[in-house]
Structure 1
Amino acid sequence: MSIESYELGMSHRILESKKENKIVIVAADCTGHGVPGAFMSLIGNELLNQIVNVHHITSPELILNQLHKGIRYALKQDETANRDGMDIAICVIDKEEKILEYAGAMNPFYYIQDNQFFEIKADKKSIGGLQSEEERIFTKHTIQLGMKNLESGINQQQTTSNQQTIFYLCSDGFQDQFGGAENRKFMVRRLRELLASLALLPMSEQKEILDKTFEEWKGKHPQIDDVLIFGVKI
């Protein structure tokens, strides 16, 4: 399995579970204003290491569930008014089974197979943050990267393809950026169309075009948020 990738922005993490022969890719965007983003990233990275490499949890919806519990505990959100959190997309590449699993907390998953562009919407709940429930359930979606059959009876979305897969994990920073002639948001529809138009290009060219498009759109307007687009070709 050959993997090629690029990043626009820095808020991502890649972990490899050698025990289970899986790659865990995390794209996170810190929310709230009480805790500095760098400190939230530090907490998140430590929790992810514990979840994936110590407890060997590699199913994306379970990673999100454990991360939510860990953030709430670390920030003492049961005892204080702190409501900081994270919007996260997690995908897990199983190199042996040739499947990809995704679960998202606010951040969606875009992918291209058989020359078609697809979007899997994230669950409308963050990690930590405003909602007070301790137990938070997330949805796992599975994409098959080869022709090997998956076991039946699993309650999840499943697609099958024998062609190359390209996928993107994104924060909302690109689509929410104000700019253009009328100083409006770039918007998610325009971002989806842009990503779909780039799919056949080499990953290095995709990154260049995304960089250029963002800067031209932003122009002289201030950048309102961190931007992350992580593209992977398998």
Structure 2
Amino acid sequence: MYLGVCDSTGHGIPGAFMSLLNVSFLNEALMNEKIEQPGDILEKVRSLLKSVFQQERQDGMDGILIRYNPKTSMLSYAAANNAPILIRDGSYRIFEYDKIPVGHSSKTERFKTYALEIQPGDMLYLITDGFPDQFGGSLNKKYKYRPFYEFLLSISHLPTEEQKELVKSEFLTWQNGNEQVDDVMVLGIRF
């Protein structure tokens, strides 16, 4: 099973166009090219994006692509500027990620495929930067990552439907009437 949480560059029509390209290229790598490793899939998408945008435009995406095998409980993933968060036994762990986007970049390293063993009861979160980067609160500042991880930890023991409602409520409370600055994606998976 493959699952991706991605954040394409751009807003409005250009952002929608980038999203369509990115989804199409992910499908190309998975379905037509039959590439299996998440890091190799992101490499293929990067290559396809570079061929479409031959100038050094900063178009592409950040994201996490996971591959999960329920028979072995092994999860492999590739992460571009985003890190998976795993909550196990009352603490959270931020996993490794590559500090490069999928698309043109001055960095030339290849995307790595990381692996971890999943245990029953684990809660895995895949997020984009939309929630941590939202301005709000009493001081009208960004929410930031560490407080967001702590918030996820505080609700991780609850049923996922309840978590969904609490994430929405926390976002709206923090936003405090400010304009939403970016798309927000928070995906939680209980194993």
Same fold flag (TM > 0.5): yes
Partner of 1:97 in structure 2?
A: 72
Report Cα offsets for 1:145-184 as digits up to 9, x if no partner: 3xxxxxxxxxxxxxxx4x3221011111100100001101
Q: 1:35 & 1:222 partners in 2: Cα distance? A: 19
- Is the Cα contact below 8 Å between 1:35 and 1:84 reproduced in 2? no
Large movers: runs of 4+ above 4 Å: 32-35
Tell me which of 168, 172, 190 is aligned to 2:125: 168
Q: Say if 1:33 and 1:205 are closer, same or farther in 2 by CA, change over 3 A.
A: closer
Q: 2:52 & 2:12 partners in 1: Cα distance? A: 14
Pair 1:202-2:159 in alignment:
yes
Pair 1:47-2:25 in alignment:
yes
Partner of 1:233 in structure 2?
A: 190
Task: Judging by fraction of residues, say which structure has more helix.
Answer: 2
- Is the Cα contact below 8 Å between 2:8 and 2:22 reproduced in 1? no
What is the CA distance between 1:31 and its match in structure 2?
Answer: 2.2
Q: Specify the code of the residue in structure 1 equivalent to 2:178.
A: H
Give the CA RMSD over aligned residues.
Answer: 1.8
Q: 2:12 & 2:167 partners in 1: Cα distance? A: 31
Q: Say if 1:222 and 1:198 are closer, same or farther in 2 by CA, change over 3 A.
A: same
What is the CA distance between 1:115 and its match in structure 2?
Answer: 3.4
Q: 1:53 & 1:81 partners in 2: Cα distance? A: 28
State the SS of the aligned residue for 1:122. coil
What is the CA distance between 1:227 and its match in structure 2?
Answer: 0.6
Q: 1:206 & 1:112 partners in 2: Cα distance? A: 14
Q: Say if 1:35 and 1:124 are closer, same or farther in 2 by CA, change over 3 A.
A: farther
What is the CA distance between 1:130 and its match in structure 2?
Answer: 3.7
Partner of 1:186 in structure 2?
A: 143
Report Cα offsets for 1:195-218 as digits up to 9, x if no partner: 111111000000100000000100
Pair 1:85-2:85 in alignment:
no
Percent of residue pairs bearing the same amino acid type? 32
Partner of 1:115 in structure 2?
A: 90
Tell me which of 29, 35, 39 is aligned to 1:57: 35
- Is the Cα contact below 8 Å between 2:56 and 2:104 reproduced in 1? no
Q: Say if 1:110 and 1:132 are closer, same or farther in 2 by CA, change over 3 A.
A: closer
What is the CA distance between 1:100 and its match in structure 2?
Answer: 0.7
Q: 2:104 & 2:9 partners in 1: Cα distance? A: 8
Gaps of 5+ in 1: 1-22, 146-160
State the SS of the aligned residue for 2:86. strand
Gaps of 5+ in 2: none
| TM-score for both structures, normalised by structure 2 | 0.93
Q: Say if 1:130 and 1:35 are closer, same or farther in 2 by CA, change over 3 A.
A: farther
Partner of 2:4 in structure 1?
A: 26
Q: Which has the higher contact order (CA 8 A, sep 6+)?
A: 1
What is the CA distance between 1:95 and its match in structure 2?
Answer: 2.7
State the SS of the aligned residue for 1:138. coil
| TM-score for both structures, normalised by structure 1 | 0.76
